[in-house]
């Protein structure tokens, strides 16, 4: 095992993936060593698919956007805070494009109505409508700026509500690189030094070609060879071949 590896951080990272042991942040070195011995005696297993991609086994699929993106509405204090947060997340920016389009339609109806609401500032509303309609892609930014500090609370609530909506996996190309079972496995193996990765036969892949969204840790050695290397290195994990789960099919037997 390379001396470059911080056993405490290593074990905590492995526990974060689902390994069945607990290591407190302030645990003394003796406890860390004891947990390490326990973990090496009963190692945790990564799954490896038929192409060599390493994954975290039994990874629970994220249900809402909050599970995918680390966005904290509470930190949004100014219009620029809102713009920066939304602009950092393509799915959320698309949502704000839709919100802006809907806002422009509502304000246009109010502007065209015969009875004018006293609360509606016509010049302000017209600026918002024009800003949104003149730039469908980024008009939402001008909308946030025009609403100013008074609008931050509303936009913060919109972000918080979106974070609780179901994840749209058709937008997975915009998810964080280390998202999901494949991304989490990659993040784990990135903490290993090159010599350890080389001995295991693990390679970090960050895009197969320009524009590629494939990021992963791949096992280039056979599972048995890699496991033998992990044993020699006294590592608390091993690999197993990921089995395809076949859907059960109803069989009708003619009598």
Rounded Cα distance between 94 and 101, Å, is 11
Looking at residue 207, its pLDDT comes to: 72
Q: How large is the average pLDDT for residues 220-228?
A: 96
Q: Which residues of 173-211 are buried (b: 16+ CB within 10 A; e: fewer)?
A: ebbeeebbbbbbbbbbbeebeeebbebbbbbeeeeeeee
Beta pairing partners, 166:
64
End-to-end CA distance of the chain: 63
pLDDT at 247 > cutoff 50: no
Phi, psi of 215, rounded to the nearest 5 degrees:
-130, 125
Which pairs count as long-range contacts for 100-109, CB under 8 Å and 24+ apart, including other chains?
100/132, 100/139, 100/140, 100/143, 101/132, 101/136, 103/128, 103/132, 103/143, 104/128, 104/129, 104/132, 104/133, 104/139
What does pLDDT average to over the chain? 88
Query: Where is average pLDDT lowest: 5-9, 42-46, 136-140, 233-237?
Result: 5-9
Rounded Cα distance between 39 and 33, Å, is 10
pLDDT at 167 > cutoff 80: yes
Rounded Cα distance between 143 and 158, Å, is 14
Rounded Cα distance between 251 and 90, Å, is 45
SS3 220: coil
Q: Which helix (H) or strand (E) holds 237?
A: strand 237-241
SS3 147: helix
Residue owning tokens 């972000």: 159
pLDDT at 116 > cutoff 60: no
What is the model's pTM? 0.69
Confidence at 188, pLDDT banded by 50, 70, 90: very high
pLDDT at 244 > cutoff 50: no
Rg of the chain over all Cα atoms, to the nearest angstrom? 26
Report the percent of the chain where pLDDT is more than 90: 68
pLDDT at 239 > cutoff 90: yes
pLDDT at 254 > cutoff 60: no
pLDDT at 193 > cutoff 70: yes
Confidence at 26, pLDDT banded by 50, 70, 90: confident
88-104 pLDDT, tens per residue? 999 999 999 999 999 99
Order of all β-strands in the sheet with 54-55: 54-55, 44-48, 237-241
Looking at residue 253, its pLDDT comes to: 34
Confidence at 76, pLDDT banded by 50, 70, 90: very high
pLDDT at 142 > cutoff 60: yes
Rounded Cα distance between 163 and 156, Å, is 11
Looking at residue 100, its pLDDT comes to: 98
Looking at residue 217, its pLDDT comes to: 94
Report the percent of the chain where pLDDT is more than 70: 89
């Amino acid at each position: 095992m390379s001396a470059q590896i911080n056993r405490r951080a290593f074990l905590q990272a492995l526990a974060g993936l689902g390994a069945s042991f607990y290591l407190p942040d302030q645990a003394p070195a003796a406890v860390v060593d004891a947990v390490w011995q326990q973990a090496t005696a009963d190692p945790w297993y990564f799954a490896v698919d038929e192409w060599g991609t390493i994954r975290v086994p039994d990874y629970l699929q994220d249900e809402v956007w909050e599970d995918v993106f680390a966005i904290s509405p509470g930190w949004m204090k100014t219009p620029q805070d809102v713009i920066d947060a939304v602009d950092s997340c393509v799915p959320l920016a698309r949502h704000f494009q839709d919100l802006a389009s809907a806002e422009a339609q509502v304000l246009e109806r109010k502007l065209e109505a015969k009875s004018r609401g006293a609360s509606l500032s016509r010049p302000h509303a017209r600026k918002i409508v024009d800003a949104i309609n003149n730039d469908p892609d980024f008009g939402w930014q001008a909308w946030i700026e025009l609403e100013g500090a008074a609008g931050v609370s509303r936009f913060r609530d919109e972000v918080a509500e979106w974070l609780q909506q179901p994840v749209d996996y058709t937008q997975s190309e915009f998810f964080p690189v280390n998202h999901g079972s494949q991304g989490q496995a990659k993040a784990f193996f990135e903490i290993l030094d090159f010599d350890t990765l080389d001995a295991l036969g693990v390679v970090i892949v960050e895009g197969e070609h320009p524009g590629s969204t494939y990021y992963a840790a791949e096992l280039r050695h056979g599972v048995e060879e890699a496991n033998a290397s992990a044993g020699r290195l006294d590592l608390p994990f091993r690999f197993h071949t990921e089995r395809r789960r076949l859907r059960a099919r109803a069989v009708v037997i003619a009598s």
